[in-house]
Amino acid sequence: MLSQFVPIAKKRTLSDLNFSFAEGTNALGRLDDNSEGLLLLTNDKKVNRLLMNPENKHQRVYWVQVHGDVQQIALDQLENGVDIILEKSIYRTLPCEAKIIPSPTHLPPRAHPVGTHFKTTWLELKLIEGKFHQIRKMTDKVGHQTMRLIRVSIENITLNEWIPGSIQEIEAEDFYDKLKLLH
């Protein structure tokens, strides 16, 4: 589903969830239509400002299934930063952590499964920034198309084994503490 409340024809959005959200609730960081995983929602505008400011360097962890057999040179390139196109300009991504991980075993099935007739590799990427389609652009830049993208954590709030579409409410103080925000 799209990480927004405004309905769009033939697309599922947050408004389709069976939950009564507080007025003014917005997503912190977006997941595109082909991405999945942890999405934080709040009606506290201060959290959005603090969390999305790159100067605060809040870590986000993603599991990324890419096409092909990833070699160390590609991991090194990802870790050192690569040039991607953002808003018609070249942008150098900040250094990040990149490593190959075993295929996750507890993931829910996808509506559009990734084919099994070609080699894929699972990566774990830890970033402190989140530009428009950044991970997809980064993996493309090093020669590996992203097949599946899952955000598994933002700071100390983790996806664990939550069910897709489930909602977990967190008390404000715990929310700030887990996100390492001063309030």
pLDDT in tens, the chain (183 residues): 788 888 888 888 888 888 898 888 988 878 877 888 999 999 888 887 787 776 778 899 999 999 999 999 999 999 999 999 998 999 999 999 999 999 998 887 776 667 777 899 999 999 998 888 999 999 999 999 999 999 999 999 998 767 777 888 889 899 989 998 876
Q: Which two tokens stand for residue 127?
A: 């970033």
Domain assignment present for residue 152? The answer is yes
**Cα angle 56-43-125, degrees, rounded to a multiple of 5:** 40
Task: Quickly list DSSP for 126-173.
Answer: EES---TTHHHHHHHHTT--EEEEEEEEETTEE-TTPPTT------HH
Domain assignment present for residue 5? The answer is no
pLDDT of amino acid 123: 98
Domain assignment present for residue 101? The answer is yes
Backbone angles phi, psi at 124, to 5 degrees: -115, 125
pLDDT of amino acid 27: 87
Could you say which of 32, 33, 76, 83 is catalytic? 32
Per the annotation, the verdict on 32 as an active-site residue is yes
The domain total for the chain is: 1
The CATH number linked to 150 is 3.30.2350.10
Q: What share of the chain is helix, strand, coil (3-state, %, to 5)?
A: 20, 30, 50
- Domain containing 34: what range? 14-178
